[in-house]
Amino acid sequence: MLRSFCVALFSAWLVLWLASPAAAQDWPRWRGPDGVGVASSSPLPVELGADSKQLLWKIEVPGEGISSPIVQGERVFLTTAYPGEVGAQMRTLKLVGVSALLGLAALIALLALRARGGSAAAKGLAGWRRLFVRADALFVALASLGFTALAVVATFQPDLLWADGVKGDIWVASAMLSLVGGFAGFGWSRASSPLRVLGALLLLAAATYLFLQVPNNKYNAPFSRVVRLAMVAPGVAGAGWFVLLYAVLGRSAAATSNARRPHAIGGLSLATAAALLFLSYNFWLPSAGLVRAALCFDLETGEKRWETALFVAPEERKYGVNSYATPTPCTDGELLFANFGGGVACLDLNGELLWLQRDEEYTGASRYGASTSPVLYEDTVILMQDGESSLRPSYGMALEKRTGKQRWRVQPSDAMDAYLTPLLWRRGERDELVTLTTGHVLGYDPRSGERLWTIPLDIFQMVPSLCSLGDLLLLSGGTHSQRMTAALRLRGTGKETQGEVAWQTKRAAAQICSPVLVNGCFFTLSDTGILTCFEPEKGTSQKTERLEGPHWASLVAGDGKLYAVSEQGRIDVVGAGPALERLGGGELGEECYATPAIAHGRLLIRGKRHLFCFGAKR
């Protein structure tokens, strides 16, 4: 009888053991099952890189994004963004327009060389007036060619003029195109023509408007007066030149006879092309929008199972290296949830869109772009949406998983400039949703959205996620002088909660990379690559190691190993202990900003173009 009991007990334990690892080894959300970046999978690979023997597969990912992969069973999910059909049509029209502009510029250049400043008509002019006419032809020819060169660069190498998605920089570059093009266009009319005066007035009006109304830069600060003056200088110079020539040569019959009609036609064409380029860069192309999509790959082979377009929305303003698909999706094993800032979508695991909630105002309210990933709690999906100073405060909301119906929403006026994914923390007998804002740590009730407690903390623009140990809340982040690595000790529960700083240091604090707590060590990674091991209770630094290159991707850990991926695609594998022993690594061969995922003995890393899967050969 005892034997039967032991067999039954062993069988039950075996069933549980076989069942639980599968769920535990999934990576269903940002930074894994508990949101702290630690996996239970083992063994994990150490020979990493594009030519590694432990590379199981790699596959090209359509579009662009830096969201992390998540894993549910044999499925890998990602989000991405790419230009829609309308955007492709607009780019085609732009290329056609620039091609026509090149031909037109060549024609005008030939006419300028033939005219040589109107040499035949200029014989009757005084020498200094003749010099004005020739300088006019040369100046306008150079402006025409300069405008054409700017237009070509803006079309084929826009990154040389502005960072993709930064609206203020687009206005700066396209303002230069417009003013230089307008100068070249009106300059081809006769010196005595009233069109010169009209051109001067229009260029001065455009320059004044841009100087007074130019948007803020990508840091939401006004452009300096020097930058704004430099931006409108072509227009002011052109207007001054038009007025000067009209005053000097306006009454000269010789100058009047110097005109050729193709010059005026060319000038009108150039001015029109300048206006069209200005409008397309600032209004038409951004409004065409980007497709936000979800993808599913097979964990075993890397084969793409499905791709679903979720919605099309304009490009919001964002930080240079951020993307339009940065928040990591999450799944409860039946449904998939994806947040893009401008909208949150729910799909089944076969890729069918079930519901979509849009935030139509997000495009105008973004400064750095979306970054916070959704978090699941009971029957809801919770979003803490980034807020921007002077644009709007942050807000949090919970949506019912099945319907998308809003369960609760909070929008406190003192919550803004925070870009981290919140931590679900079981403290005592209560679940709490913990996040940071400028100057405060906040605790919410995830069921109702009620704020339970607020603890002051001198920190600004928090991006990295949090870790917890008992009654300690561990963090490393912030910007500028308000960056720190610290531990807060919380006492009391609910609205009676109070906290104090147990320890803090500003040395080698992170700005983007989230820390991990594993094996009794608190590991942080600064953006410049300084890996530090702290004793979590006292904050003593046990060891520091310099890793190669700047880092954007967060740390993850599993099987006694830490994984750090640099922006250049360098992977470092370090022992998850105080010694920080180097265990391996490799090179992806492409840039990487996405945090890796660990599931079922596999390490999945999303590069700029490909999704890589490493693991032991099966």
For residue 70, the SS3 value is strand
Structure tokens, 413:
């006026």
* Side-by-side strand order, sheet with 561-565: 556-558, 561-565, 570-575, 582-587
Average pLDDT, the chain: 82
Strand bridging mode 516-518 / 521-525: antiparallel
Q: How far apart are CA 313 and CA 18, in angstroms?
A: 44
More confident residue, 157 or 357: 357
Q: What is the pLDDT of residue 152?
A: 76
Q: What is the pLDDT of residue 141?
A: 75
Cβ contact 531:547 at 8 Å: yes
Q: Please tell me what DSSP assigns to residue 511.
A: S
Which amino acid is present at 602?
Answer: R
- Residue 614 pLDDT grade (very low, low, confident, very high; cuts 50, 70, 90): very high
Cβ contact 433:452 at 8 Å: no
Nearest in space to 241 (alpha carbons), one of 154, 139, 162: 139
For residue 579, the SS3 value is coil
Q: How far apart are CA 407 and CA 255, in angstroms?
A: 76
Nearest in space to 57 (alpha carbons), one of 297, 295, 294: 297
Q: What is the pLDDT of residue 195?
A: 79
CA pseudo-torsion sign 31, 32, 33, 37: negative
Q: What is the pLDDT of residue 105?
A: 62
More confident residue, 241 or 433: 433
Q: What is the pLDDT of residue 186?
A: 80
Other Cβ atoms closer than 10 A to 242: 27
pLDDT digits (tens, 9 = 90+) for 87-119: 555 555 565 566 566 666 665 555 555 554 444
Structure tokens, 142:
């150079």
Q: How far apart are CA 20 and CA 581, in angstroms?
A: 31
More confident residue, 195 or 298: 298
pLDDT digits (tens, 9 = 90+) for 120-167: 444 445 666 667 777 777 777 778 777 777 777 776 776 677 654 455
* Listed range (56-60, 74-78, 461-465) with the worst mean pLDDT: 461-465
- Residue 377 pLDDT grade (very low, low, confident, very high; cuts 50, 70, 90): very high
First to last CA, the chain: 41
Q: How far is CA 366 from CA 50, 215, 220, 224, 465, in A?
A: 36, 14, 10, 21, 20
Which amino acid is present at 513?
Answer: C
More confident residue, 563 or 12: 563
Q: What is the pLDDT of residue 337?
A: 98
Q: How far apart are CA 591 and CA 363, in angstroms?
A: 27
Cβ contact 505:539 at 8 Å: yes
Q: Please tell me what DSSP assigns to residue 498.
A: E
Which amino acid is present at 333?
Answer: G
* Listed range (251-260, 306-315, 460-469, 528-537) with the worst mean pLDDT: 251-260
Cβ contact 195:186 at 8 Å: yes
* Listed range (8-17, 200-209, 251-260, 464-473) with the worst mean pLDDT: 8-17
Backbone phi, psi, residue 289, to 5°: 85, 170
Backbone phi, psi, residue 37, to 5°: 80, 15
> Mean per-residue pLDDT for 597-607?
96
More confident residue, 395 or 536: 536
Contacts of 426 (CB under 8 A, 6+ apart): 432
Q: How far apart are CA 550 and CA 47, in angstroms?
A: 21
Q: How far apart are CA 178 and CA 190, in angstroms?
A: 21
Q: Is the pLDDT of residue 279 over 70?
A: yes
Could you tell me the domains of the chain?
Answer: 30-84+289-614 (2.130.10.10), 86-287 (no CATH)
Q: How far apart are CA 189 and CA 242, in angstroms?
A: 10
Task: List 342's β-bridge partners, or say none.
Answer: none
Q: What is the pLDDT of residue 373?
A: 95
Q: Is the pLDDT of residue 250 over 70?
A: no
Q: How far apart are CA 37 and CA 421, in angstroms?
A: 12
Cβ contact 550:567 at 8 Å: yes
Q: Is the pLDDT of residue 60 over 70?
A: yes
Q: What is the pLDDT of residue 253?
A: 44
Max CA separation in the chain (angstroms): 126
Contacts of 596 (CB under 8 A, 6+ apart): 68, 553, 556, 563, 565, 603, 604, 605
Q: What is the pLDDT of residue 215?
A: 65
Backbone phi, psi, residue 201, to 5°: -65, -45
Q: How far apart are CA 493 and CA 437, in angstroms?
A: 21
Residue 329 backbone zone (phi > 0: left; psi -120 to 50: alpha; other: beta) = beta
Nearest in space to 473 (alpha carbons), one of 450, 247, 459: 459
Cβ contact 336:75 at 8 Å: no
Query: For a pLDDT cut of 70, what percent of the chain falls above it?
Result: 78
Q: Is the pLDDT of residue 566 over 90?
A: yes
Other Cβ atoms closer than 10 A to 356: 15
Nearest in space to 141 (alpha carbons), one of 186, 184, 195, 98: 184
Contacts of 165 (CB under 8 A, 6+ apart): 315, 316, 317, 318, 322, 324, 369
- List, as one string, the DSSP characters of 306-317: EEEEEEEEPPPP
Query: For a pLDDT cut of 90, what percent of the chain falls above it?
Result: 45
Strand bridging mode 55-60 / 610-614: antiparallel
More confident residue, 130 or 492: 492
Residue length, the chain? 618
| Cβ neighbourhood burial of 291 (10 Å; 0-12, 13-18, 19+) | buried
Strand bridging mode 75-83 / 343-348: unpaired
Run of H or E including 386: none
* Listed range (77-86, 98-107, 148-157, 174-183) with the worst mean pLDDT: 98-107
Structure tokens, 467:
């870790």
Helix/strand/coil (H, E, C) string of 109-123? HHHHHHHCCCCCHHH
Q: Please tell me what DSSP assigns to residue 609.
A: S
Q: Is the pLDDT of residue 522 over 70?
A: yes
pLDDT digits (tens, 9 = 90+) for 19-35: 444 445 899 999 999 99
For residue 392, the SS3 value is strand
Cβ contact 473:455 at 8 Å: no
More confident residue, 286 or 588: 588
Structure tokens, 603:
């390490």
- Residue 275 pLDDT grade (very low, low, confident, very high; cuts 50, 70, 90): confident
> Mean per-residue pLDDT for 386-390?
65
Q: Is the pLDDT of residue 430 over 60?
A: yes
Q: What is the pLDDT of residue 285?
A: 63
pTM listed for this prediction:
0.72
